[in-house]
């Protein structure tokens, strides 16, 4: 089976007055129609990797790679308008903070319909029906009412589910979900994971799931990439995560709280310079 996404030696740099910040430093992986988790401490380059694949690196960032292919298409050679056409339609990303992705002055329904109508030729009435169905699919209980609300009129968790509805309505082949459930309580979290799982199983979508939560990733994903300081230090089957060999991964695992366990002293995450080479 050919890969849906091939990333080879991806780098993202930000020149600043005091030097160059290397956010991503030579990341390589391939993705099929599967669930790939990306874990790693804050600032390790998870979001920057996702954004670079999406073509959403902040304007002063410099992206380079030996290869960045999506479904047989060379993303590095694609024009800005070709990349824009891919976004939302074939590749979608749920951003870490949905507040920045929803337009505060437009109703939720209109935003979802417009997303659909920029990618598919559907009538207004069809778009409306599809939006209702999608809102229902993300467990919004009263889709017709929520359709007419503005983003500030729904809860954070509902906002996040609305974002997911908007991102998947055009049926992307690849979904990059950056901490999509970290603001949700556990029951809603499970609903949202269930929706994404269904999309992978039923539509054969590829999923990149970025999370801090190693336990969640090990139960939800097929494979896991562990990032440290802009690099991949370990790639492992999700079911094997508990037996990870790399000391950094072991450190992340040790920092996960266990119910009923005494946390004195608190574990400290080891960081060694030799892991960078
Ligand atoms: N616009 C930017 N300009 C300069 N540096 C940036 C910019 N965006 C991100 N960085 C840097 O890139 C590095 C990686 O950031 P990134 O957002 O990918 O981390 P992350 O792994 O997603 O962390 P978190 O778990 O906190 O979301 C960080 O050191 C960050 O400071
Ligand atoms: Mg992030």
- Range list of β-strands (E), 44-179: 62-64, 67-70, 73-74, 91-94, 174-178
Q: Which atom of ligand 1 is nearest to the CA of 51?
A: 18
Q: Identify whether residues 194 and 57 lie together within a single domain.
A: yes
Q: Identify whether residues 118 and 161 lie together within a single domain.
A: yes
95 occurs within a structural domain: no
Q: Identify whether residues 12 and 68 lie together within a single domain.
A: yes
Nearest CA to ligand 1 atom 12: 23
Ligand 2 centroid distance, CA of 249 (Å): 18
What rounded mean pLDDT belongs to the chain? 89
Nearest CA to ligand 1 atom 27: 42
248 occurs within a structural domain: yes
Output 72 or 101, whichever has higher pLDDT: 72
Q: Identify whether residues 111 and 85 lie together within a single domain.
A: no
Give me the CATH number covering residue 20. 3.40.50.300
Ligand 2 centroid distance, CA of 48 (Å): 7
Residues with CB under 5 A from ligand 2 (ion): 47, 96
Average pLDDT over residues 58-63: 94
Average pLDDT over residues 139-148: 92
66 occurs within a structural domain: yes
113 occurs within a structural domain: yes
Q: Identify whether residues 155 and 23 lie together within a single domain.
A: no
Boundary residue ending a domain (151, 171, 191) = 171
Q: Identify whether residues 146 and 229 lie together within a single domain.
A: no
Specify the pLDDT at position 215. 86
Boundary residue ending a domain (145, 171, 197) = 171
Nearest CA to ligand 1 atom 19: 43
96 occurs within a structural domain: no
Specify the pLDDT at position 257. 64
Domains held by the chain: number: 2
What letter would DSSP give residue 267?
A: P
Boundary residue ending a domain (121, 138, 171) = 171
97 occurs within a structural domain: no
Q: Identify whether residues 83 and 118 lie together within a single domain.
A: no
Give the model confidence (pLDDT) of 27-47 as tens digits: 999 999 999 999 999 999 999
- Angle among Cα 12, 16, 18 to the nearest 5 degrees reads 125
Q: Identify whether residues 185 and 231 lie together within a single domain.
A: yes
Q: What is the CA radius of gyration of the chain?
A: 19
pLDDT at 68 over 80: yes
Give the model confidence (pLDDT) of 151-206 as tens digits: 999 987 788 889 888 988 888 999 999 988 776 777 778 878 888 888 889 888 99
Specify the pLDDT at position 89. 84
Residue numbers of the domain that contains 162? 102-171
Say how far apart CA 96 and CA 8 lie, in whole Å: 24
Give the model confidence (pLDDT) of 3-30 as tens digits: 899 999 999 999 999 999 999 999 999 9
Specify the pLDDT at position 264. 65
Give the model confidence (pLDDT) of 74-99 as tens digits: 999 999 999 988 987 899 998 877 66
pTM for this prediction: 0.88
Q: Identify whether residues 85 and 107 lie together within a single domain.
A: no
Q: Identify whether residues 180 and 240 lie together within a single domain.
A: yes
Q: Identify whether residues 189 and 265 lie together within a single domain.
A: yes
Measured distance between the N- and C-terminal CA atoms of the chain, rounded to whole angstroms: 32
Segment holding 206, helix H or strand E = strand 206-210
Give the model confidence (pLDDT) of 219-254 as tens digits: 899 999 999 999 999 999 999 988 888 888 888 888
21 occurs within a structural domain: yes
Q: Identify whether residues 73 and 109 lie together within a single domain.
A: no
Least confident of 119-123, 187-191, 257-261: 257-261
204 occurs within a structural domain: yes
Say how far apart CA 30 and CA 3 lie, in whole Å: 6
């Amino acid at each position: 089976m050919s890969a849906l996404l091939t990333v080879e030696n991806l780098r993202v740099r930000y020149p600043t007055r005091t030097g160059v910040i290397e956010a991503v430093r030579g990341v390589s992986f391939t993705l099929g129609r599967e669930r790939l988790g990306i874990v790693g401490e804050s600032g390790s380059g998870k979001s920057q990797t996702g954004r670079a694949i999406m073509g959403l690196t902040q304007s002063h960032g410099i992206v380079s790679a030996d290869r960045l292919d999506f479904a047989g298409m060379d993303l590095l050679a694609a024009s800005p308008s070709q990349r824009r056409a891919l976004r939302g339609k074939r590749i979608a990303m749920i951003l870490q903070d949905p507040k920045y992705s929803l337009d505060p002055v437009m109703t939720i329904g209109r935003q979802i319909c417009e997303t659909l109508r920029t990618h598919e030729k559907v009538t207004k009435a069809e778009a409306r029906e599809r939006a209702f169905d999608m809102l229902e699919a993300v467990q919004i209980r009263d889709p017709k009412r929520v359709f007419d609300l503005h983003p500030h009129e729904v809860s954070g968790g509902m906002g996040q589910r609305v974002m997911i509805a908007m991102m998947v309505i055009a049926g992307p082949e690849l979904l990059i979900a950056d901490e999509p459930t970290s603001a949700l309580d556990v029951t809603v979290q499970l609903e949202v994971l269930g929706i994404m799982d269904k999309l992978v199983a039923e539509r054969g979508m590829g999923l990149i799931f970025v999370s801090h939560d190693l336990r969640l990733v090990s139960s939800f994903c097929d494979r896991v990439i562990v990032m440290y300081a802009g690099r991949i230090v370990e790639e492992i089957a999700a079911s094997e995560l508990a037996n990870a060999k790399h000391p950094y991964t072991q450190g992340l695992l040790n920092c996960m709280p266990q119910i009923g366990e005494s946390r004195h002293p608190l574990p400290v995450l080891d960081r060694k310079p030799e892991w960078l080479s």
